[in-house]
Amino acid sequence: MADKNNLIVYCEYEDGKVADVSLELLTKGRQLADKLGIKLEAVVAGDNLKDIEKQILPYGVDTVYKFEDSRLYPYTSLPHSSILINLFKEIEPRIAFMGATSIGRDLGPRVSSALHSGLTADCTSLEIGDYTDAKTGKEYKDLLYQIRPAFGGNIVATIVNPDCRPQMATVREGVMKKEVRDSNYSGEVITKEVNKYTRPEDFVVDIIDRHVEKSKVNLKGSPIIVAGGYGVGSKENFELLQQLADTLGAEVGASRAAVDAGWCDHDRQIGQTGVTVRPKLYIACGISGQIQHIAGMQDSSIIISVNSDPDAPINTIADYVITGKIEDVLPKLIKYYKKNSK
């Protein structure tokens, strides 16, 4: 008899390492499973999965489902979808999480469509709570609150999934915290037969070439970030941000508006549709403070806002506010840093 109605996390991996986003989801999943009094499960599909559970179990995982087949790596949509669809039919999870990555966002919708279960993308918070249907008055206990920014980040919506299971959500990397529960946590490992869950015709998409590029940008790991928004005004002024960053040993980030304007590459975008960062120091240059940006940097320890608009919304969350033009302020900051640092 399969164990049913638990919380399951789809674990991604690359180079033999389980993705951070999956471990973050396991951490959150453990908390919620405790609250609900249910088990935490994980599913991993790929090749060379020997001992992969050693990376997964310490997060408090009670069951790991392993699907091992050389055709399952690298990821393609159909076989991984079939595995989840058929596994979910069998174990009927109450809740399922996956990373809001190019894999999770490819896989999640396909699975939710086949199971007619709801899926909420890019959640920033996940909680358990009750819900009363306004129309029917029907009450639901212990639903998953799937909380996410919507409408370009200007509102935050709490989404529930009253009747369909599993309640599915994706979360971006870096949004949840990663924390080992117990390095000796003991859980069960169940190896599944891939052919029982997939069809031969699932393997129709061939990956003929694959260049794994190590990301040149490490915004998440940088203790100092100099970020620019639309108020920077030009690509030339954006160069000043780079100079300040080089001087301070920082990385350059950008708001969506600056990326859309073509002043900065997309992989440097900070905010709801970019990266979430928590640096020691965040210098926001010409960033007005649209909520979708603030959502991705509000946990920075110290925030300095440089803006010609003294009433820029971002100033309300800043520790230091400098009212002035980028081309005026930044060179001075560079000059005084060089003068005062040893």
Partner 1 sequence: MSLNIIVLAKQVPDTRNVGKDAMKADGTINRAVLPAIFNPEDLNALEQALKLKEQHPGSKVTVLTMGPARAAEIVREGMFRGADGGIVLSDRAFAGSDTLATSYALSAAVRKIGDYDIIIGGRQAIDGDTAQVGPQIAEKLGIPQITYAEDIISVEDGVVTVKRRIESGVETVKAKLPLVVTVNGSAPDCRPRNAKAVQKYKYAAVPSEVAADEAKKEFIEKRPYLSIGEWNASTVDADLAQCGLAGSPTKVKSIENVVFTAKEARRIENNDEELEGLIKDLIANHTIG
Rule CB under 8 A: which of 188-227 touch partner 1? 204-213, 215, 224
In whole angstroms, how close is the CB of 19 to partner 1 at the nearest point? 10
What is the C-alpha separation between 162 and 165, in angstroms, rounded?
8
How buried is residue 312: exposed, middle or buried, by Cβ count under 10 Å (0-12/13-18/19+)?
A: buried
37 membership: H or E segment, kind and range: none
Rule CB under 8 A: which of 260-319 touch partner 1?
A: 260, 266, 272-273, 280-281, 290-291, 294-295, 298, 301-302, 304-305, 315-319
Beta strands, E only, 273-317: 281-285, 302-307
- Contacts with partner 1 in 159-178 (CB under 8 A)? 159-164
To partner 1, the closest distance from the beta carbon of 223 in angstroms equals 9
- CA atoms of 191 and 55, how far apart (whole Å): 16
The count of other CB atoms within 10 Å of the CB of residue 36 is: 16
Indicate the pairing of strand 40-46 with strand 167-171. Answer: unpaired
Total residues binding partner 1 (CB under 8 A): 95
Binding mask 103-142 for partner 1 (x = CB under 8 A): x-xxxxxx-xxx-xxxxxxx--------x-x---------
Residue (31 or 120) nearer to partner 1, CB: 120
Token look-up 């559970």 returns 53
Q: Give the nearer residue to partner 1 in terms of CB position, either 16 or 324.
A: 324
The distance of closest approach from Cβ of residue 41 to partner 1 in the complex, given in angstroms and rounded to an integer, is 21
Work out which of 13, 59, 67, 145 binds partner 1, going by CB under 8 A.
Answer: 145
What is the nearest approach in angstroms of partner 1 to the Cβ of residue 38? 20
Say if residue 174 is exposed, middle or buried (CB neighbours under 10 Å; 0-12, 13-18, 19+). Answer: middle
Among 2, 4, 17, 157, binds partner 1 (CB under 8 A): 157
Kindly tell me which residue out of 94, 256, 268, 293 binds partner 1, with binding defined by CB under 8 A. 256
To partner 1, the closest distance from the beta carbon of 119 in angstroms equals 6
- Residue 74, preceding peptide bond in cis (omega within 30° of 0): yes
Residue among 26 and 294 whose Cβ is closer to partner 1: 294
Cα angle, residue 69 at apex, residues 68 and 70 outer, rounded to 5°? 130
Quick one: tokens of 152? 């370009």
Of 126 and 329, which has the nearer Cβ to partner 1?
A: 329
Q: Which of 151, 191, 234, 235 binds partner 1 (CB under 8 A)?
A: 151
Quote the CA–CA distance of 294 and 261 in Å, as a whole number: 19
Q: What is the dihedral of CA 64, 169, 172, 187, to 10 degrees?
A: -20
Q: Tokens in use for 22?
A: 């999956």
With CB under 8 A as the contact rule, the residue among 2, 152, 218, 235 that binds partner 1 is 152
Q: How far is CA 35 from CA 29, 48, 143, 146, 163, in A?
A: 10, 34, 11, 16, 20
**Minimum Å distance from CB 66 to partner 1?**
22
Residues 15-54 that bind partner 1 (CB under 8 A): none
Strand pairing class (139-150; 125-132): antiparallel
| Window 58-97: contact mask with partner 1 (x via CB under 8 A) | ----------------x-xxx--x----------------
* Binding-residue pattern over the window 310 to 329 for partner 1, x denoting contact by CB under 8 A: -----xxxxxxxxxx---xx
- Out of 36, 156, 180, 189, name the contact with partner 1 by CB under 8 A: 156
